[in-house]
Amino acid sequence: MISALVISIIVSWISIIAMAIVVFALARQIGVLHERIKPVGALSLGEAVKAGDIAPQFDLDTISGDTVSVGGTREQSTLLFFLSSTCPVCKTLLPVLKDIQKQEQATLRLIFASDGPVSEHLSFVAEHELGAFPYILSLELGMAYQVSKLPYGVLINPQGKVAAHGLINNREHLESLLEAEALGVGTVQEYKTKATSI
């Protein structure tokens, strides 16, 4: 009777140690996969304007009746965020955009851009508390950057050049635009390609 108990305890401990080894091995493998699959950043779709090009200049009316300039030299970088009032991903990114703009307010100006009926966007702005930001309705602006999918971001540096642009589906994509500007490259992918070729 005692020997059966001792044997079951030994078997239990062997099982526990074996499971601990398997869990450790799996955790290590997840770490290796994470290192191999690096974040790719925002996917650049438009070919009309490339990173490093002078940004097209526009003077556009906002839905609140003000005029805002897009492009040209200024003290801050400008983040153009193209969105739709019916886009669920766009809506989930609004708190992230507000947070980033608040953190970077000394160096970043945020402008929302879309198209469609003004009344629809006025209610969207009110619902999501976007009244503090310029909100533009302009087909011409979207066409200049060849925005075909939403949400899409274009970052223009203080010298009036396109620093980075791309499709934005999450906070990582959004931050990759700012990171690309800080690194002086068009995309995070470009930086990683250069880093691995050295």
pLDDT of 139-152, one tens digit each?
999 999 989 899 99
CA atoms within 13 A on the CB side of 98: 13
Lowest mean pLDDT, pick from 27-41, 68-82, 102-116 = 27-41
pLDDT of 158-176, one tens digit each?
999 999 998 999 999 999 9
Question: Distance (Å, rounded) from C-alpha 24 to C-alpha 42?
Answer: 33
Q: Give the C-alpha distances (Å, rounded to integers) separating 85 from 39, 109, 149.
A: 28, 21, 14
| CATH number for the domain whose boundaries are 58-197 | 3.40.30.10
> Rounded to the nearest 5°, which phi and psi values hold at 114?
-160, -165
**pTM of the model as a whole:** 0.76
User: 21-44 burial, b if ≥16 CB within 10 A, otherwise e?
Assistant: eeeeeeeeeeeeeeeeeeeebbbb
Read off the pLDDT band of 33 (50, 70, 90).
Answer: low
CA atoms within 13 A on the CB side of 190: 18
Residues 38-62 have a mean pLDDT of 78
